[in-house]
């Protein structure tokens, strides 16, 4: 983390809503700068990504597309408390209970999927 200011994003896609209950917040960190220590469990969330969590307490740690940057959960880093929201993805898919106020970039589902064609919102068949 040290000298780099994180850009925090929120996502309202089906997968993120299912993972977090409403919206998922994250910030990217390039993989070469990340060292993981301690116990971590990963779960293959999609055909192109994994989720990670602590096997002792279940806390969410990151999302990561294959060969992509880590997308860490900002709530784990107290030093990010004052960092404002930079971007809201799938903004047009937000539930009414999590409409995010303020000045930040809002990206619609169509725009995001146009720029990230490998993404679709495949949801586990076991989910409601
Ligand atoms: Zn998402």
Residue 126 lies in a domain: no
Query: pLDDT tens digits for 48-90?
Result: 899 999 999 999 999 999 999 999 999 999 999 999 999 999 9
Distance from Cα 117 to the centre of ligand 1, integer Å? 14
What is the length of the chain? 128
pLDDT class of 125 with cuts at 50, 70, 90: low
Distance from Cα 7 to the centre of ligand 1, integer Å? 16
Residue 127 lies in a domain: no
Give me the number of domains the chain comprises. Answer: 1
Distance from Cα 111 to the centre of ligand 1, integer Å? 13
Residue 123 lies in a domain: no
Distance, CA of 17 to CA of 24 (rounded, Å): 7
CATH of the domain at 62: 3.90.1590.10
Contact 53, 60 (CB under 8 A): yes
Residue 80 lies in a domain: yes
Residue 32 lies in a domain: yes
DSSP string, 18-86: HHHSS-EEEEEE-GGG----S--EEEEEETTEEEEE-TTT--EEEEEETTS-EEE-GGG-GGGTTPPEE
Distance from Cα 32 to the centre of ligand 1, integer Å? 23
Residue 50 lies in a domain: yes
Top-confidence residue, 92 or 125: 92
- Domain containing 82 equals 8-115
What is residue 2's predicted lDDT score, i.e. its pLDDT? 45
Residue 121 lies in a domain: no
């Amino acid at each position: 983390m040290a000298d780099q200011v994180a850009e925090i994003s929120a996502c309202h896609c089906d997968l993120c809503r299912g993972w977090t209950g409403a919206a998922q917040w994250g910030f990217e960190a390039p993989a070469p700068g990340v060292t993981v220590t301690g116990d971590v469990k990963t779960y293959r969330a999609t055909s192109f990504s994994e989720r990670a969590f602590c096997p002792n307490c279940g806390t969410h740690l990151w999302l990561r597309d294959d060969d992509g940057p880590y997308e860490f959960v900002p709530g784990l880093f107290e030093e990010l408390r004052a960092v404002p929201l930079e971007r809201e993805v799938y903004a047009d898919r937000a539930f009414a209970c999590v409409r995010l106020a303020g000045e930040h970039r809002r990206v619609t589902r169509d725009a995001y999927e146009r720029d990230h064609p490998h993404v679709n919102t495949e949801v586990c068949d076991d989910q409601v």
